[in-house]
Chains A and B, each alone.
Chain A
Amino acid sequence: MFRTIFKGKSFSGGVKVPENKLTENESVEVFPAPKRAVLPLAQHIGAPCEPVVKRGDKVKTGQIIANSKAFVSAPIHASISGKVTGFIKTITPSSGKVVEAIVIDSDGEDEWERMEAMDLSAPRDELLKRIRDAGIVGLGGATFPTHVKLSPPKDKRIDTIILNGCECEPYVTSDHRVMLEEGEKVLLGLEVIKRILSCDNAIIAIEENKENAISHLRDLIKRKKISTEVVSLKTKYPQGAEKVLIKVLLNREVPLEGLPFDVGVIVQNVSTARAIYEAVFEGKALIRRVLTVTGMVKRPKNLLVRFGTSIESLIDHCGRMEGANEVITGGPMMGISLPVLDLPVTKDVNCILVKRSLRIEERDCIRCGSCVRACPMNLLPTELVKYIKAGMYERCSEYYIDDCMECGSCAYVCPAGIPIVQYIKVAKNEIRRRVKGGS
């Protein structure tokens, strides 16, 4: 196991951020199924779903209520049993887009509709179909439909699977708790991934601040005699970014505008692996997830929450604190702040961070170059901002704006308080709009 000597391996760029993992020792608490669930029809990257139920229909927990014929899409399931009482517009907490959502009012029964349980001997296509039918998407936050990620083009040979348990965002501990409390499920989920990709070489990557998760998974692997390696990585942001992770573990660089399968790698999040386990071995659709409620709440917690539960109810459950005026879904580095709290938990919400907002004045760049050294993609963030501010969008591609993964390291270190990522996001949208406009 030569890779174990890579303990503490790291990458160039990135930033040291205060970890603030307040909830790392809090066992996952099951949050009761809500009286009402609001389920947006687009909770993933790809085609939004069409409802397959109508107002007044009775639905069971785990029943498909919206689906799409598109390949890059994942169905939505009822997260509680009850009656469809209507369709409303809501905002998805992570994208801020206004989308349609199905409202289900609970009958209090929580009657499940399960799929047939399978095991590893099932044919590969069946396993892939099951992952799609269960509505599984990347739970690390990207929400890319998992069955698509697990179907790389025929000409791309996959030689390594990386299971991502880095969780490099401060505050967030949901993946950490999943690894500790449901390590077996994670490992069995990984076996399904291995089987689908016919690849036996797997690495579980965990930052060294989760020592107990590392040793727990190593123990399990030894006991079960699985051929998987757990690699401890230095705690540094953004260690868990796909491209960074592949570089650190395998010294391979995903090409510009390329994807991990271009270098023979598939990366999956540990919570996604757990979801795959439940879909395959227990026949359960993805209707809930572990998320962290943390920051300025009286009792920070890790909660197992049904999708469609109101974010406000989770904050109330953990105890609101005076003085907090900002709520963020996701971690503090890449998460976004919410305009309202009456929003449903969707598949990508791994953390709800309650905090007092930072008021940062934007000043002129003093060209200190901190952002240049912090950028894990080797870009020149300050130069990008210079051209964006001047409206010279055509220069942006010359400075590889599309290679920016918006990790926020640059803005984190900026002494002039320039919201660099915000500028880059706006410019990317503008460039996309211009390209679409055909000009």
Chain B
Amino acid sequence: MAVDKKLSLMPGPHIRKEVSIEKIMYLFSLALMLPAGASIFLFGRHALFIILTGVLSAVFTEYIAKRIRRQRFRMDGSALITGLLLALTLPPRLPLWMVALGAVFAIAVAKEAFGGLGYNIFNPALAGRAFLTACFPKEMTRWVLPFEAVTSPTPLNSGFVWHNGKIALYKHLFLGNVGGSLGETSALLILIAGFLLLALGIIDWRIPLCYIGTVALLTFSFGKDPLFHVLAGGLMFGAFFMATDYVTTPITGKGRIIFAAGAGVLTVMIRLFGGMPEGVCFSILLMNAFTPLIDRYVRPRPFGWRKTDEQKRGS
């Protein structure tokens, strides 16, 4: 019986959800436009240049890397996000060539050298940032206040002083009128963008909730101001946009809770006891390294599984 050439044979399911990698990536970048816009508003033209440099170098590096690896380059939006995320975690006065170097490292080393999208272990944007921090410690910690070119420490730095009362501080932190990396200062816009992504089902609520919750709980139990620690620094940004990266975080709900709680613990450790004022970047990177292990051992209980099935799993 000859196969009818006009008929196509396809594996099921024969209908698919209206979703694609591109759709997810571009919606994610769209949400990031909120903190990106805020950074330009707060820190001026140079912020725009940093963002453009980050995005363009990331995409260009991806193109070159794909050419070298003899793979097809496609604008799937992932390099765009890496460039955008990296730019938004950088100080507002960073020289543009450093931004470009960070993006090259992020894409070429942290992503493509590991196999490209889906195979990288570390969050490329954070790896790029860590690389820059290691190479240019001075430039990476030069902060300015929004709307003015005056250098100023971030709220987490030891040199940070505040005289105008707690409520006013919270308000400044919430709106973003403090020193810090481009995208991390305005908690309000991060929240709006974050909730947008939650509503679209693109990010998992477990991660920001557990990450921020753990930090609040721990700082409170160490006698610090939990609200300050939640709003200041890169926690909100990291919790909504970095720790939620699909590739570098666990796939199960339980695994993600462990991941986020672990990142929360590490962040508080670094902030309170470490040599650096901020620990979000390194805590997420460290937990990225644990992701394969978490996925190997934290698995959901299969339907119909009973205690007696336990031996089978080990075999």
Contacts and interface: CB of A to CB of B under 8 A. Distances in A.
B13 A408 contact: yes
Interface in B1-56: 1-4, 6-17, 19-21, 23-24
B139 interface: no
B15 A18 contact: yes
A366 B246 contact: yes
Nearest to A374: B17
A46 to B, nearest CB: 24
B9 to A, nearest CB: 5
Contacts of B24: 366, 368, 415
A119 B120 CA distance: 67
Contacts of B9: 326, 337-339
Contact of A254 (B15, B119, B304): B304
B246 A338 contact: no
Nearest to A91: B1
A341 B14 contact: no
Contacts of B13: 332-334, 408, 411-412, 421
A403 interface: yes
B7 A327 contact: yes
B4 A340 contact: yes
A416 to B, nearest CB: 6
A337 B10 contact: yes
Given A18-B15, A366-B21, A258 B304 contact: yes
Contacts of B4: 339-341
The B interface, classified by DSSP as helix, strand, loop or mixed, is loop
Contact of A378 (B23, B251, B302): B302
B7 A378 contact: no
A327 B14 CA distance: 10
Most buried by A among B2, B13, B23: B13
A378 B19 contact: no
Contacts of B11: 419, 421-422
Given A364-B119, A366-B246, A340 B16 contact: no
A379 interface: yes
Nearest to A378: B300
A369 B252 contact: yes
Interface in A304-347: 325-328, 332-342
A415 B15 contact: no
Nearest to B203: A368
A355 interface: yes
A15 interface: yes
B15 A412 contact: yes
A38 B129 CA distance: 69
A137 B235 CA distance: 60
Given A373-B253, A421-B12, A378 B301 contact: yes
B164 to A, nearest CB: 44
Contact of A380 (B12, B251, B306): B251
Given A90-B1, A377-B303, A378-B303, A339 B252 contact: no
Contacts of A358: 10, 14-16
Given A90-B1, A358-B15, A366-B117, A400 B7 contact: no
A97 to B, nearest CB: 12
Interface in B104-124: 116-119
Nearest to B78: A366
A326 B1 contact: no
Contact of A256 (B119, B253, B305): B305
B299 interface: yes
Interface in A12-45: 15, 17-18
Nearest to B118: A364
A364 B12 contact: no
Contact of A338 (B7, B23, B295, B315): B7
B120 to A, nearest CB: 10
B247 interface: yes
A204 B24 CA distance: 40
A403 B309 CA distance: 12
A326 B21 contact: no
A18 B118 CA distance: 29
A383 B294 CA distance: 13
A399 B297 CA distance: 11
Contact of B246 (A368, A397, A400, A403): A368
A372 B300 contact: yes
Contacts of A379: 300, 302
Contact of B118 (A327, A355, A365, A400): A365
Contact of A367 (B3, B19, B118): B118
Contacts of A243: 303-304
B15 A17 contact: yes
A376 B300 CA distance: 11
A258 B253 CA distance: 27
B309 A256 contact: yes
A51 interface: no
A256 B306 CA distance: 8
A192 interface: no
Interface in A392-407: 397-400, 403
B138 interface: no
B182 to A, nearest CB: 26
A353 B7 CA distance: 13
A436 interface: no
Contacts of A370: 19
Nearest to B4: A340
Given A254-B304, A341-B4, A400-B302, A357 B10 contact: yes
B241 to A, nearest CB: 15
Contacts of A372: 251-253, 300
Nearest to B299: A380
Contacts of B70: none
A364 B20 CA distance: 12
Contacts of B253: 372-373
A337 B21 contact: no
A218 to B, nearest CB: 30
B8 A337 contact: yes
Nearest to B250: A369
A255 interface: yes
A256 B313 CA distance: 12
B118 A332 contact: no
A391 B249 CA distance: 24
Contact of A415 (B23, B119, B303): B23
A326 B117 contact: no
11 contacts: A326-B10, A328-B14, A332-B15, A364-B118, A366-B246, A368-B246, A399-B299, A412-B16, A414-B16, A417-B20, A421-B11
Nearest 10 pairs of A and B residues by beta carbon: A408-B13, A422-B11, A364-B118, A369-B251, A357-B8, A332-B14, A377-B303, A368-B246, A378-B300, A339-B3
Given A91-B1, A341-B4, 6 more contacts: A18-B15, A170-B15, A357-B14, A378-B301, A415-B24, A419-B11
